[in-house]
Every structure is written in structure tokens, then in C-alpha cells.
A = this chain, B = another copy of it.
Amino acid sequence: MAILTRPILEINLNNLLDNYMQLKALSGRAKAAAVVKDDAYGLGAEIVARKLYNDGGCRHFFVAHGIEGERIRNLVPDAAIYVLQGIGEDSLDSFRRARLIPVIGSPEMFAWWKENRIEGIKPVIQIETGLNRLGFRESELEELSDADRSEFSMVLSHLACADAKEHFMNQHQLDNFRRLKEKYFPKLPATLSASDGTFLGADYQWDMVRLGAAMYGINTAPYRENQMKSVVTVKAPVLQIADLPKGDFVGYSATYRATEDRRLAIVSIGYGDGIPRSLSNVGKVFFNICGRIHEARILGRLSMDNIICDVTEADGLQVGDTAGILTDYYTLDDMGRDAGTIGYEILSRIGKNTRYMRTYIGE
């Protein structure tokens, strides 16, 4: 019997690369840019960017903040790195040192840019088409002079509902994008879609797609089965197996009470490892017992370091066995659904925790 205490995070870079290549093939003539913001959604931007650059031929990367771009620069020496949140006083040095390209989404930021231009860098302009987030509104585009418009190298917008194929917003935003681009920037290349929009077909792909969530294994087109491979696996060891007597309570605030004698396993992972506390009493973990997958319900509140689950029927389970937390058959999307959120948020949480034994496949 092994005695183990640490949770395990396995990141499959080969699957990530396969996903990227699959999405790239789907993108036709559009350039396939990789979104590695938020530390590549927690998976390690340096390692992910290097893999895509070396093995996938990727030469266009998107990050959210200047500091994120600077971190990957020496791994992707001649690639274009675009910064979605734009540029400001608190990031100018990163832009200069790492030759980053700001995405500028407001007249105020553009005015500031004109006072702080970096020679040889032509920013991207973000225009608003229906998300009502960052981007020039049409009234603001009208204010731009010809000289202003000539400062930019690409037009960018972002879709609100592209994960729902038939959503009316998709056509609405596409129409807005087409009209505004033709009117104000007829000669510039354009990018409209992230992963989800890429699946909507050639009309939405323009000159560049920005591949993020799907590359990391998330199903961004949930109206059909996921065609992406799993990139993230999380496991954690069973620290203890014990009886739960009828009538006893489980966990903080005593939110579960046993209506009959049951058997518990305590698994060494919790919200301190990025597993959402909202899985309390509703989530599940999985045990592979002699080739059969056993689903064990989470009992009571998930705590910072531990999950308590019901293994009454898990004959043969032993201390030291590992529980599957995120697996090929229980994915980020599944956990997102059970936790009342989306796989993106789960993914963004998991990889930032240093308690994991972390391994990369295909590094």
C-alpha cells in the first residue's frame, strides 16, 4: 500500500498541439494565433508558447497584459505578440523591451498611445460590435482622422455568443463588424473570432483566429460532441477510508447527514488546489478499481485541502489509491457544469497552485 499526500496535475502538451493543429486546419486561410493569456489559462505560458512555436509553427500570440507578453518573448523570438488589455503607464516598459503590439480599444488609450508611440509597432484597433465590452464605439470611430486610422495594423472585435451556433447575436455582430471594417478600415486585415467563433465557419474567420479555450480541451461548440482532446488531468490520493455511522454529519457546517451507515474516503485535494467549493454535496470523484470506473459522490463541504466522498460501494478501494478529479471522461466542461460555472474558470484556477506534482507530457 502506497502512502501519498499530494495532488497531481498532468498537462498533455501533445494533445494541446493536436488541438491547435486541428483548429488550424479548420481555420482555412486565416492565421491561427494562440491565446496564452492568464499564464496559458494556468498551464504555463512559457511552456505552452514554446511548444506551439517550435512544434506547431505558431507565430502569433495573444496575451491580456504586457507583463504576460514579456514573459514569453524570448521563447517566441520572432512572433507577433498582441496584448488584449492594451497599453498604459504601468506596462509601457514591457512593451518596449518585448516589442509587444497593443490592442487599443478606447479613444483615451489611443490618445495616450500617440504621446507614447513605440517606433516600429503598429497597434491593433478593437471595435465594439455587440459585446459591449472593450472597443471603439461607432461614434468614436467617426472621430478618427485618416492619419489616426493609418496608425493601425489590424481590426479586432470579439463575439458574445459564438458558443451557441444559432444565436441571433452571431449574425448581428458579423454584420456590424463587416460594415464598420469596410467603412473605416477597408484595407486592414481583421480578426473577429476566438475558438468558439472559429467553429462558425469561414465567414467568421477573417484573416486571423484567436485560439484559446478549445486548444486547452474545452468544448467551445457545445452543440455537438467535443472534438478536442483532453489536456488536463488531475488526480489526488486517498488519505484515509473510514466508516461514517448512521446519523453522523460530514464536513464544515454539518451539511450532510448519513441516513444509514456508509463508508467515506478522504481525498487530498480541495479548493486550495483550485477545485471549486461549489462542488460541495453535488460533485463527484472517480476511482478506477480493477478497470471499472466507480463514481463517488462528494459529501458535505469541500474544504481547502480535502474532499470527502462516499465509497460505500467501492469494494477494493485502498488508502493510497488515486481519485480521478479531472479525467478524459469527466472533463473541465463537466466539472464546470456541476460547479455552476464554465470550464474556462476551472482551468484558470487549477494550474496556479504550486502544491501539485506537476508533469508535462511532450515538453
Residues of A within 8 A of B (CB): 1-6, 37-39, 41, 64-68, 84-91, 105-106, 108-109, 112, 128, 130-135, 137, 160-161, 163-164, 167, 169, 237, 239-240, 242-244, 248-254, 264, 266, 268, 271-272, 274, 277-278, 300, 303-306, 308, 319-320, 340-342, 344-345, 348-349, 352-355, 357
Contacts and interface: CB of A to CB of B under 8 A. Distances in A.
B348 A160 contact: no
B128 A242 contact: yes
Contact of A134 (B41, B160, B250, B266): B266
Contacts of A237: 88
Contact of A91 (B5, B108, B306): B5
A169 B249 contact: yes
Given A37-B272, A253-B161, A5 B88 contact: yes
A38 B251 CA distance: 19
Q: How many identical chains are in the complex?
A: 2
A134 B355 contact: no
A84 B6 contact: no
Contacts of A342: 277
Contacts of A39: 354
9 contacts: A3-B109, A5-B85, A5-B87, A5-B91, A38-B305, A39-B354, A133-B251, A134-B239, A134-B240
Contacts of A164: 253
Given A6-B67, A251-B160, A271 B88 contact: no
B304 A38 contact: yes
A165 to B, nearest CB: 13
A132 B264 contact: yes
Given A3-B87, A5-B88, A306-B134, A352 B355 contact: no
Nearest to A83: B5
Contact of A277 (B88, B266, B272, B341): B341
A37 B306 CA distance: 13
A238 to B, nearest CB: 9
B89 A3 contact: yes
B65 A6 contact: yes
Contact of A348 (B128, B272, B319): B272
Given A254-B160, A319-B108, A85 B239 contact: yes
B251 A320 contact: no
Contact of A108 (B1, B308, B353): B1
A310 to B, nearest CB: 11
A252 B37 CA distance: 18
Contact of A64 (B134, B352, B355): B355
Contacts of A250: 131-133
A252 to B, nearest CB: 6
